[in-house]
Structure formats: structure tokens, C-alpha cells
Structure 1
């Protein structure tokens, strides 16, 4: 498309030309450039390029927000111009060199868990659909009651809803090996060993049977649904594999390396890593529950109000572990019910800006950005609109807090994770959908009204744009 080709060319020129760009990658909404010299970037020119919703430095990358779908098309055109294209994981490794230890650790945690999230999303949707189908009102439409549901049908639904969590250690170990430079299939097998049917099932041990005891004091169980034991076993396993591979003759590598890696790591995982980090997981879970169970909706107000600030920092993936633990232990996720309000509220604030402004360019930016937020992606609304004028962002935080407070008071809990607002409705089909819609409406309306009344005016817009023009380059 000629327009996208023009946009790509203008972007490259505004970022300093081909010679200033090391590489480009993209995620769901942004182009991510690695550049040689930040000073050569013309920020104003980038932001004035058609379809650009905002641009900023984060995690060592210059990130240009374009939105879902559009980013893929512009990326293809940038690639055609001859810019060195790379994948997001490789670029993240390069960008990580400029981060401190905490930032690198959080980024690594995200690199491990983000690839796993789609199957957990699917599992949550299966749980929601099962909850809908099993409701008495729905069954009555077909002249049935819960007693008419066959055991085989229930078994089928359990396959859909339980498999990802039963074999979660295998997924985590596979992804961890991949990120830390090991052979992913070895990680997969190591993770499967942690949930071997020969071991006492972790859930059965929690209720009715005893674990195996080695040497009289080391409890050994299966680690169905566990995350940290597989994660740390994956890190050590990948490093051990690399260590062994460097010291084994090439002719023996195929046999010796996987044999020694799996032998040493399953012993370490079952007898040392597993017992220690399973206990750590329990403490993390209890701490999470203590926060979520704060009285009078306090947890919902705080989490809903602060969540999008955390998103700006890029460390929000650290909460994936917490959500996985909630789902694995209880089959529900009150955290999702809270953060959906924070996402919806930023969309409500951007919607108010788009409807109130007389600027056609800002209107064309704000309205699609608000819709993107209602689909669960807030970056265009935050970086393209709300943060630029500050007050709409604050209004969105307040709306998120009010919505989160409501979610806590109502005891709202999703059946999955990672999807919010309109798509997230599918996680609340188990009799909670009306409360879920109410929470989102409250968050959107609160943010919208505050932005309309106090958070935005075209006079402030003109002042903000004038200040931006007068900034020293």
C-alpha cells in the first residue's frame, strides 16, 4: 500500500536514517527500534507521521506505537527499505545490556511467561464457556438439568480446562530453557518428569495422601501446576547443558549431554529445588491473598488505580506468576477483575478527549485509541493521548481505582487471565457477566466524566503543543 510505504520512509528519516538504525522488531502494537544515537531522532517529526499514536524510549528501545494490525503492515514496509529486521526476543537481549539487574530480571521473567499466556487464555475461555453451559437457566433452554449432563461430557470439559495447568511445569521448563540458551526439548522432558504419574499427585497430597519421603526427611511429590520449581530448574538445567556441551567431544554430545543434564537436574529438582521453591510459592500465594482480601475494597482501589502506572514501566509481566498461582489453586482470578477496570478507564479518558477536542488530528488519534483500550490494549491511549496531556491519564487512574473498588466489593473473579474489557467478558460467563459489565461501565464513566469536566480542554491542548514546539532539540 502506497500510504504505508510513505509512512515507513518518513519514520526511518525521522529516526535518523538508515545509518542510525541498528535493527527493528515489532510486538502487538509497536515498532521497536534499536538506534545508534538517540540525539539524531526528531521526536516531533516521528509523532507527526500519519498513523503514529506516540513514541518513547523504553527498555533500551525506541518504541513507536501504531496499533494492532497497522504495526505489521508498517513493519513489512520498513523491512523492504532494507532496515535490519530481527525478532523481538533477540532485540530484547540486545536492549537488556543497558538495563540494571532488576530490569533484566523482570524482562527475563516476561520472556519466559509471555509465550505461555495464549494457552492459559484459551484455558480460561474454556472455563468460562463451561460455566455458561452448566448454568441451570441455559440448560433449561434445552429441557435439561445439571443431572442430565453425562460423566463423559464432564470428563471432556476437564481435559480442556485442566491440561494446561497439570502440565504447566513442562511449559515453564520448555520456555525457560529456550530463553536461557538450552535445548527446549530437554527442558520439556525435564518439566514432564516433574509431573510424572509415578509421583504422588500434588493436589492429592494437599488433601488425602502422603508424599514420598527420601532419606527419611525429603518430601517428594509431583509438581502439577507449580511454576517456580520448573522455572529455577529450567535456569540451572540450561546452564548445566551449556557447561556439559562445551566439555564433551562432539561425537558423544548427542548421547552424553542430554543424559547427564536430565539425570543431574531431575535429582536436583525433586530433592532440592522443588521442596524449596514450592514453599516459596506458598508464601507468595498467601501474601497475594492477604493483599486481595484487604477489607472495604481497598485492594481493588489500590491495584485498579496503580496498574497502568506499572504498565508504563514495562514490569507488569511480573504479575503473570501471581495470576497463574491464583488460577492453579482456586480456578479463579480476582486480580483480572480488578485490572480490567484500569484498562477500561484509560479508554474512557481517551474517549472523552476524542469527543471533546475540535482538533481533527487529535480526534483521529484519540477515538481509535480508546477502542483499542476497550479491546484490552492501552498503550495507544496512554502514550498517544492521556499521558501527553497528563490530566486524562490521572482521570483514568481514578476511574480504574473506582472500578477496582467495585470489583472487590462485588467479589468478582475471572476464570482466566491476560484478556480484559470486551474480550474479557468471556472469562465471566459463569454467572458474573452482569457484574463484570457494571464494573467496566463504572470505570469508563468515571474516567470519562472526570476528563470531560476537569481533565482536558483545547486551550490546554494548544498550550501543551506550544510548549512541545519550544522545547530545546
Structure 2
């Protein structure tokens, strides 16, 4: 009978029994559960169990805080429950089913776009700059029209802009196959078939007559030869279709011929599905949206339509179907001498950029995020929103919705005041130059709304939602944070760096001091040292990211390197001592790699707690 057998029986009963456990693992301080039905867990009852210091739920995982005896508790629990422990990654994967549909969709989109964000940022800045020099009339024409040099620059930069945005489906299909573990070159080839030069460019589809669209003629049926340049949803559908097909054929095909059969049938069928079914469905949705936009603009309740359009234009950009609005804008200019649709688009651009500006303010001490946020904000204010949306706003969620609300309010004011643009093409803040002169003042007010509302909403919500990992020391003055000793142990000796209060650590186990009092340190070096004389009491052989000491003068100290670094499975960590080894104050205990921790997307904050 183990030390925690009785407590394990209580936990098993209160957590909903064996049938409610999808997966279980542990780290240095807590047990991590993926539950089939989280509602069955009796949280109050669990927290009364002897040895349990608290519970919380994070990213779909139900976590029970035990402390440094978690290994013994865990061993007794799996023996009592009759379950097998799994890796932390498996628990994380199992826990995803506890996320709602929106969380799963947002998470998947973020994972797909994460590898291509650098390209989107570059493309956004380039297209924004091209807008300024090529689209804005400064009275005597555009900069491009007045200078051959700038005309050459404008033309040359399109080489990069086209590669990034027009060929975006290639990057998306590649990223999906990479994420799902299938053959990446097939994803690249599939993406190329969506943007082939043999097809009618997606930008020309809206204004093309039905008989002008080229077709594949199979005798019994004809299929439109339409490209999907800059289209997101068709590319995502195509990519996942390829992944499904490849996994299906890999499963059923004998290995001796799989090298030929699997890629051939997977790719051919995926391309057929993309052009024959998935693509046309996307265009049909686009035509419905275009018809709805036109009807709304010409109705007696156009102000209501303005709110809806202002709210949902940004999500439309995600699908790539926003290009359909160009045909509507062009028709409105021809029919009415101007368009009231384009000003709303420019305001939506500004709103998304302002949400990013709010994130820049919140994360002003997080240099890593600034590298993406600042260029994304600039490109957004110049009229190109993809870097901002995919690189920042969709990643966190609430900035995106804050921008939608600001865009909605600004659009209602704009349409209600009859604001018209002379032409399309100039988005973001420079969009005011395309507004008819008599409407410039009211449009400037709309711009202020599109700047202030998303910024304020993002900051207010962000202060509650963002973790300390996202905003290092945002509410602290570096010169006033001085936490030197806890329980007579000088924890600042553990590692050199910036000391911050324990309350700022994003992990509630530490920030709420459930394990004990202490400090956190943003390290300048990569070696953890003993804060006092003692004996090594706890090590984590698989992850090596934490170490516990029993001090000679009494008490226990836990040193935990990084936040969620248990998920790195020991990569970048090396013990310099062994369990039960006596150590002296200042002796090196653990070596870690800041570079590998950063590459894994984790915080390297060192947490030091006196138990």
C-alpha cells in the first residue's frame, strides 16, 4: 500500500471515476488530467483531499496541484485507478476536445499561419508602401506617375508582393501538411495548382462574363478554370482534403507499392476535389455575399447594413472573399459617382491596426512580440490587414473582436453621414485621400472612432486576459521591484537576472502561492545555482526542467525553469547534480538553453519557491 493510496482513491472518485479519465500525466508539481467530462470533477471535494494544494483548468487540462511529492502521488494514483500514464503532449492533445468549437478553429488557424507570418509581415509592408506611392494622388498625380525611378520600384516590389499574397495558397497547403505530418512537397504542389497561370486569376473572376471564363471540357461536363490567388478558405479546405486522402491511402495501401499509389491518388483526387467541388462552393458563397452587400447598400436600412458589414468585413478577409467587393465598388462609382462601401473597408483596416496598437501598448516590454506587432500595425494602417489579423489579432482572439466592434461603430457613422470615396485602392489611414472633399471631416471623425474604440477595448480586455508571459513587468516599475529574501533564503542567488514578484508569473500554481512564497527571475544566464547548503530532494528525469532541495537549516526550495517547459520533454535542459546529492550554496545545479526555450515558444522565467 502506497503512501497516497487512500488519497488516490478519494481523487479517483471525486474526479468522476476511471471512465472520466481520457489521459493523465504529471510534471514537477501537479497532475494533469484530460477529462471526458470536466463537469463531473468535484473541485471543492478534491481540494479538501490531504496533500492537494489546489486545482485549476488551463487549455482544457484539469490540473491538481500536489507539490514535490507529486511523483509518489501519481504512482499511487495510476495503480489505484488502473490507468496508464501518457506523455504531456498526449494529455495536451486529449485535452483539446474540452475546447469549444471556436477555440479549436482559432487554435488551428493560428497553428497553420504561424510558420508563414514572417512572409505576411513583409508582404504587408510592401503592399502598404506600394499603395502610398502608386495609389494616392497628391494633387499633381501619384509619386509613381511623376518619377520613373519610383515607377520602377513600384513594379519591382510587386514581384515580392505577388509571391506572398497571390501565391498564399501554396504556403497554406504546405503549412497544413507540415502541421498534420503528411508529405509537405505534395502540399506545395497542390497549392501551386490553385494559383497556376493556366487559370483565370481570382482577381479577374468578379468582373468576367460567364462566356469569358476558360473551362476544362470533359465532354459530359465542363469545369471553370478559376484560380484561387490570395484565397484562404479554399486553400485550407484543399490542404485538409489532401491530408485526409494521404492518410487514408497510407492506411489501406500495401507498403511495397505505397511510394507510387499513395502520392499519386492523394494528389490527383485532392486537386480534382479542390477545383471541382471545394473551390466552386467558395465562389458561390462569395457571390451570395456580393449580392447581399449590394442589396444592403441600396436599401432603406443601409445604416443597419453598415453595422453588419463593418462588423464582419474582417472575417470576410480571412476567407479571401473580400475581393468580391471590388466589383461592387467599381459599379457603385460608375452608377453614383462614388462609393460608400470603400470608406467602410478603410475603417476596418484602421480598426484592426488599432487593436494591434493596443497589443503593442500592453506588450511594450515584450520585445519578441514587438517584432511582429509593430510591422503588422504599420502595414495595417497602410491598408493591408493580413499580417495584423493572422500574426496578432486572431492569435489572441479578443483584439480581433475589439477591432470588429470599433469597425462596426465607425461604419454606422460613415454610412449614416453619407461618406463617399471617389475611388478604391487606398486603404487604411491614407484612405482619407480618396474621400470626396465634403466628407473628409466626418470621415476623420470616423477614423478616430476606428482608432480609439478598438485600442481601448483591447487594452481593457487584455489587462484581464493576457498572461505575465505575454506582458513582462507591464505594471511594475523595474527600479522598485526588490524581493531579496523569503524565509531567510536569498533566492536571488539562484540565477542572475531581473527579479519580479511571484504574482506576475502566469502559472496560477506559483502566482497564487499555492506551493509557497518566493520570487521569479527573468534570467540573464543559463545556469541555476543552489541558494543555500542542502540535499537534492527532487529531480525530473524526463523533463529536467525543475529541481527541489531540502535545506540543511530546514525547509524545502523548488526551482522551476520556465513556464510550461515540461512540454519540451527535457530538450535544452541538463542536470549538473544527482538526486540525494549534498550541495553547497552557489553550486551549479541545472543548465538550460534560453535559445531552445524561446524556439519552443516558452517563457524562460525561473521560479524560486520556499515550500
1:185-200 mapped onto 2 (5 Å cutoff): 185-200=185-200
CA shift at 1:256, angstroms? 2.7
C-alpha spacing 1:165/1:344, structure 2 compared with 1 (3 Å): closer
CA shift at 1:186, angstroms? 0.9
**Cα deviation 1:131-185 (Å, max 9, x = unaligned):** 2234455999xx9761433664442132233322321222222233334443222
- The reply to whether residue 249 of structure 1 matches residue 254 of structure 2 is yes
Which residue number in structure 1 is paired with residue 166 of structure 2?
Answer: 166
Which residue number in structure 1 is paired with residue 145 of structure 2?
Answer: 146
Q: What is the distance in 2 between the residues matched to 1:58 and 1:432? A: 47
- Superposed CA RMSD: 5.7
Which residue number in structure 1 is paired with residue 321 of structure 2?
Answer: 325
CA shift at 1:128, angstroms? 1.6
Q: Is the 8 A contact 1:169 1:227 kept in 2?
A: yes
C-alpha spacing 1:180/1:442, structure 2 compared with 1 (3 Å): closer
Q: Is the 8 A contact 1:200 1:222 kept in 2?
A: yes
Q: Is the 8 A contact 1:128 1:428 kept in 2?
A: no
Task: Give 1:18's match in structure 2, choosing from 23, 28, 44.
Answer: 28
Question: 5+ unaligned residues in a row in structure 1: which ranges?
Answer: 1-15, 24-35, 42-55, 64-83, 308-315, 351-365, 384-394, 417-426, 451-468
CA shift at 1:329, angstroms? 6.1
Which residue number in structure 2 is paired with residue 335 of structure 1?
Answer: 348
CA shift at 1:240, angstroms? 0.9
CA shift at 1:96, angstroms? 1.4
C-alpha spacing 1:280/1:343, structure 2 compared with 1 (3 Å): same
CA shift at 1:239, angstroms? 1.0
CA shift at 1:193, angstroms? 1.2
C-alpha spacing 1:378/1:109, structure 2 compared with 1 (3 Å): closer
- The reply to whether residue 261 of structure 1 matches residue 257 of structure 2 is no
Q: Is the 8 A contact 2:202 2:229 kept in 1?
A: yes
SS of 1:199 mapped into structure 2: coil
Q: Which has the higher helix share?
A: 1
SS of 1:218 mapped into structure 2: strand
Q: Is the 8 A contact 1:347 1:378 kept in 2?
A: no
Which residue number in structure 2 is paired with residue 424 of structure 1?
Answer: none
C-alpha spacing 1:61/1:127, structure 2 compared with 1 (3 Å): farther
Question: 5+ unaligned residues in a row in structure 2: which ranges?
Answer: 1-25, 34-40, 48-55, 64-85, 327-341, 378-391, 435-442, 461-511, 513-611
Deviates more, 1:273-282 or 1:404-413: 404-413
CA shift at 1:299, angstroms? 4.3
C-alpha spacing 1:207/1:129, structure 2 compared with 1 (3 Å): same
1:400-439 mapped onto 2 (5 Å cutoff): 428-429=429-430, 435=444, 438-439=448-449
Q: What is the distance in 1 between the residues matched to 2:433 and 2:87? A: 45
C-alpha spacing 1:444/1:229, structure 2 compared with 1 (3 Å): closer
Q: Which has the higher strand share?
A: 2
Deviates more, 1:407-416 or 1:157-166: 407-416
SS of 1:18 mapped into structure 2: coil
Q: What is the distance in 1 between the residues matched to 2:291 and 2:353? A: 23
C-alpha spacing 1:251/1:326, structure 2 compared with 1 (3 Å): same
CA shift at 1:241, angstroms? 0.4
- The reply to whether residue 212 of structure 1 matches residue 212 of structure 2 is no
Which residue number in structure 2 is paired with residue 277 of structure 1?
Answer: 282
Q: What is the distance in 2 between the residues matched to 1:198 and 1:144? A: 34
SS of 2:282 mapped into structure 1: helix
C-alpha spacing 1:92/1:288, structure 2 compared with 1 (3 Å): farther
TM-score under structure 2 length normalisation: 0.42
Aligned length, in residue pairs: 337
CA shift at 1:218, angstroms? 3.0
Give the structure with higher Rg (CA): 2
Q: What is the distance in 1 between the residues matched to 2:131 and 2:94? A: 44
Q: Is the 8 A contact 1:168 1:227 kept in 2?
A: yes
TM-score under structure 1 length normalisation: 0.52
Q: Is the 8 A contact 1:301 1:400 kept in 2?
A: no
Which residue number in structure 1 is paired with residue 384 of structure 2?
Answer: none
1:288-299 mapped onto 2 (5 Å cutoff): 295-296=302-303, 299=306
Which residue number in structure 2 is paired with residue 60 of structure 1?
Answer: 60
Which residue number in structure 1 is paired with residue 471 of structure 2?
Answer: none
Q: Is the 8 A contact 1:186 1:258 kept in 2?
A: yes
Q: Specify which structure has the bigger relative contact order, considering alpha-carbon pairs within 8 angstroms and separated by 6 or more residues.
A: 1
CA shift at 1:301, angstroms? 9.2
C-alpha spacing 1:170/1:265, structure 2 compared with 1 (3 Å): same
C-alpha spacing 1:248/1:138, structure 2 compared with 1 (3 Å): farther
CA shift at 1:86, angstroms? 8.0
